[in-house]
Amino acid sequence: MTPPAVFQLPDWFHLAAVFFAGSAGAVAAIRRGYDVIGVAFLSLVSGLGGALIRDVILQRGAPVSFLDGRYVLTVAMACLVSYACGHRWTRLAPVLSVPDALGLAAYSVIGAQMSVQTGLSLPASVVVGTVNAVGGGLIRDILVREEPLMFRPGHFYALAAAAGSTTFVLLYRKAGYGGGFSGAVAVGLAFSLRVLAVRYDWKTRPVTRSAAAGPGSNAG
């Protein structure tokens, strides 16, 4: 039986996360010289893409982010601010990495919680939680024809989100803790992994061809 307590965040946190993610998409579009439609669309998918994928997988009907007009307005604001600030917005990247990490951690837990409550299996809930956290960035990279950030060796990104989702699912469903406690622990873990990876330059490593071939392989 699912514990009665759930992990919840205030509305302002959701809107702030959408703003920062949408700004990343808008900046990427501006750097490539896209027109106003391109900037707006890339900002939209970057800010709301993960939640849209989540809602489609969970078959929740109309996406939550489209039922509440504040989300689209927040994306529009992100576009305007990104355009007005120009290169100065890019200089704030080290500072913005902190709210970005917090949003990544929180959405990995939100997606996992919604999946568990919908009845998905525990492994599937981890997958949906991870996609909820990184889906917007994945769609953005595909649209601008870049190798997706989550596929490249680098600072823990999708790995941190997966760690948060897994921790929440295990504590919430297996250990029987309430959603608030489980969510706080999972967010803290995912956030710490992401921030520490950036701070101390912890990076994943590529799977080399020789390693994939296995010991003694003659593949050349």
CB neighbours of residue 219 within 10 Å: 8
Is pTM beyond 0.75? Reply is yes
According to the 3-state scheme, what is the secondary structure of 142-158?
HHCCCCCHHHCCCCCCH
Who's near 168: CB < 8 A, 6+ residues apart?
7, 108, 109, 112, 113, 129, 182, 183, 185, 186
* Cα torsion 78, 84, 86, 92: sign: negative
- Give the integer Cα–Cα distance in Å for 24 and 38: 13
Who's near 160: CB < 8 A, 6+ residues apart?
101, 104, 105, 108, 190, 191, 193, 194, 197
Task: Compute CA distances 16 → 11, 35, 71, whole Å.
Answer: 9, 25, 10
Residue among 133, 157, 160, 188 nearest 21 (CA)? 133
pLDDT at 90: 64
Residue-level pLDDT, tens digit, the chain, 220 residues: 444 478 888 888 888 889 988 888 888 888 888 999 999 999 999 999 999 999 999 987 888 888 999 999 999 999 999 888 876 766 766 666 788 888 899 999 999 999 999 999 999 999 999 999 999 989 998 998 888 877 878 888 899 999 999 999 999 999 989 989 999 999 999 999 999 988 888 888 888 765 555 555 454 4
Q: Residues 150, 134: contact at Cβ < 8 Å?
A: yes
Q: Burial level of 72, CB count in 10 A (0-12/13-18/19+)? A: middle
